[in-house]
Amino acid sequence: MAKLTILVATLAAVLLVVDASIYKTTVVIDEENPMQRCREEMRGQDNLRHCMEYMMQQSRSRWSDQMGHFDMCCRQLGSMSQECRCENLEEAMQMHREQFQRQQMSMSEAMQTARRLPTVCRLQTRECSFRSPYALRTGNH
């Protein structure tokens, strides 16, 4: 019986060490490469597809469709860490640039809408600040 108790205690200790080292490794990876974490968050939210649909439909004035995409967009943004929201929005805008141009929506207009999304969704109090040339042309950096 004593051997069984020692064996169970040893297994429990090994599991705790393994679990702690896995957690530590995950934290270290996130701290070392925050851009990778943001990319993974964006992929997990379907590259912010609902936010892009919302903005494209906004240019076509389809109010009923817009609201469904708006709600889903807010959920997608809300599922991301605050540190990644703006970066991922800017990245999604760059990925969908050609689609916006095909819809004849000006990129600077679209970027301005994207900058405001986290505040309109009530996820943060400040608008996003984008680094892209489209954002710079509008005077907003």
pLDDT at 60 over 70: no
Annotate 77-106 with b (16+ C-beta within 10 A) or e (fewer): beebeeebbbbbbbbbbeebeeebeeeebe
pLDDT at 103 over 80: no
pLDDT at 5 over 60: yes
Q: Which two tokens stand for residue 22?
A: 């896995």
Tell me, yes or no, if the pTM score tops 0.75: no
Grade residue 128 by pLDDT with cuts at 50, 70 and 90.
Answer: very high
Homologous superfamily of domain range 45-137:
Plant lipid-transfer and hydrophobic proteins (1.10.110.10)
